[in-house]
Chain A
């Protein structure tokens, strides 16, 4: 079947949609068509991909305006009487064609305090955890870092607040660490301050686009927001932190 595509071609200096036609067969996903066009019509068409099975999160793009993994978007689920548009994610600077500069995400991750486990539970240096206590953390750790949630988040996409807000991907990363039964670190203060959790107003756009169906807002961000509130607007908590700060300062002296 002949399918018409409109693919954005260009770089940081600008670009435009170009039209291509591809002879598609049963079962094709958008990535099949893009790679076929690359092989036969546009050898220099830039796109990222790796696993082609929805496991690596490389081929994120916007298909008919929706943030999607190209490898998991079947052509049969799109209206093929119209052109299929494929364009790069909009929340990140363009490099070329469908490839965007996502390096900001890697810089953000580096700033999040790393996992710090409690001392081992057993003399052989191992820990004990019950499956029911890690189900939630495992849900968050399904994240494949496709950054589609970052792309769709209006705080990043429309308001470009990349310097003040870490976005849903990293709120989930923090949630996975904070809810890890072995972790002893506290990341609440930065969540409220430098990481800008308050900017999220729970529109749940991130949850809708997550290819791993992680309940980003309900299971991750909202519980984190509650922890922030408990910590910062609870007078006892406030008093305790004040004492702790004084004690810490003494340690430094």
Chain B
């Protein structure tokens, strides 16, 4: 075996967004040595793009809020296939995690009496999102980053992990490369935390950056952990649609939280037409009540624009399909109309939604204080991921933990806006805490040198032929396939077609060719990321085929209704002994009576 540079940490955290940073901070505070690997520079992870806020029942704006209401909201939003224990821990612990950020220097917007301000968001009964204008993610990642760097965490920036290393059934480290020189590195660790985010790059229209190639999903799967709920992908209702180069860039739900309305080309506010039965009691009867809700009137109920993301996305798709869309294939999202209601509307919008104002002005020549935006659904988030123990975040492999988007369970079939940032904090902390505990109880394991050699050899294969397949083109073809065949509206025929195509992409991906050398070579990186993207895409498609019903983010045109046979099961994916992908259904854990009661009380 060549002599690879080797690092030793007690806990290795892979990924430095909100979950990874929070895990690293917690592990470090527990007194173990922590290494943090990130694909980009520190502070650039996707968390930075989160806009609307962090959901936590602080009850600063509405004193009726508490963890029970938040729990019930999250379960309802997830269509009751969430892991109840994760939803419970999340609702209970989120307020402390937010207050902790303030102690570390975060500067949230304030209420009149000087507390952390909270705003309305889809599916949340009360104003619950702690926020900083529309740049909450930046505030969160910067706070964690600035706090973390003073804790003695070793940060390995611009590194990518290719494989987890195992000693028997235990995960004992990871093997990867650094971008700058393309050199391979071994990271030995007593415990490993995956916090790699999502899979957005499997789709053509996405709010996710190049990094989100399902690395943690694929690393865990290959090592022998299980993935659950992979069929549930959140298509955020409002992404930009024009000009084409910005298609998919996120337009925060905060626009609707501040009173923004969705209209079709006839100027009709179409969301009032289709309010799901289980939300009718929580939804405004008319436009006036909806506006009063956004203005903080406690007797008013939410406007239908603030229904859950899965539902709003489907309504938008319907409007477009039936010919009532906007000129560039979206619908209109209008916040400028509030000038009829507020004296200083333009200033108010700029203060509440500064980066949206800036984004549309600069990229689309639209002044959102004067004109409506054009928006349409964009691939935003995957509810599915590594199956973990709700309390410790450990996977079924000893020493392997996962947190944040790459882990699963809290969100069920659909995530509520704002629950992601709180998920990162709550379960990032737990993963860090229990990974540190595990590390203290175990010694370093042995590294399998043959495995390392195999991974290194395979990783270098694309250099053997510059005439091989262009990795960017395979990625593009995959993105189009997933977008068209495993998107918002799914059918069995189309997904079988997708499976065939994914198989052909796998063959092509084995023959990629790249030019240049190993130094900072994005072509090479794309070729390596493809493997993970293909694994994730196959898992998504298999799970979506298996769930023969429509629930939350999964909408099957051939099974358009909910089916109770699927109402209490999760799809579980794992790697079979022969190397093929195996899928099975497993019943949800039985919810204890006290939580059933909480749900009943909040119907």
Contact = CB atoms under 8 A, between A and B. Distances in A.
B362 A74 contact: yes
Contact of A117 (B103, B150, B521): B103
B359 to A, nearest CB: 6
A95 interface: yes
A40 B476 CA distance: 12
A220 B521 CA distance: 38
Interface string B102-115: 11110101100111
B48 A56 contact: yes
Contact of A96 (B103, B150, B519): B519
Contact of A141 (B48, B139, B210, B250): B139
A242 interface: no
Count chain B CB atoms within 10 A of each CB in A46, A95, A120 and give the residue with the most: A46
Interface string B9-50: 000000000000000000000000000000011111110110
Given A95-B520, A129-B110, A48 B362 contact: no
A240 interface: no
B138 A134 contact: no
B151 to A, nearest CB: 10
A157 interface: no
A126 B110 CA distance: 13
A128 B149 CA distance: 27
Given A26-B244, A55-B138, A46 B107 contact: no
Contact of B209 (A28, A45, A52, A144): A52
Interface string B469-490: 0111100100000000000000
Contacts, number: 169
A95 B180 contact: yes
B245 A58 contact: no
Interface string A114-145: 11010010000111111100100110011011
Given A128-B114, A141-B142, A58 B41 contact: yes
A91 B67 CA distance: 50
A137 B516 contact: no
A183 B244 CA distance: 45
B281 interface: no
Contacts of A48: 40-41
B363 A74 contact: yes
B362 A44 contact: no
Interface residues of B, number: 67
A39 B157 CA distance: 24
Nearest to A50: B209
Given A32-B245, A114-B146, A53 B472 contact: no
B516 A43 contact: yes
Nearest to A33: B245
A57 interface: yes
B99 interface: yes
A51 B207 CA distance: 8
Contacts of A52: 209, 246, 249
Interface string B233-267: 00000000011111001100000000000000000
Contacts of B363: 27, 29, 53, 72, 74
B522 A47 contact: yes
A180 interface: yes
A101 to B, nearest CB: 8
Contact of B522 (A25, A43, A134, A177): A43
Interface string B100-140: 00111101011001111000000000000000110101110
A129 B114 contact: yes
A137 B157 CA distance: 28
B449 to A, nearest CB: 30
A43 B135 contact: no
B110 A130 contact: yes
B296 interface: no
B524 interface: yes
Interface of B: 40-46, 48-49, 99, 102-105, 107, 109-110, 113-116, 132-133, 135, 137-139, 142, 146-147, 149-150, 155, 157, 180, 209-211, 242-246, 249-250, 355, 358-359, 362-364, 470-473, 476, 514-517, 519-524, 526
21 contacts: A25-B243, A25-B244, A27-B244, A27-B364, A38-B472, A39-B473, A43-B470, A43-B521, A44-B514, A53-B250, A53-B363, A55-B48, A55-B49, A58-B40, A115-B147, A117-B103, A128-B115, A137-B107, A141-B107, A145-B142, A183-B105
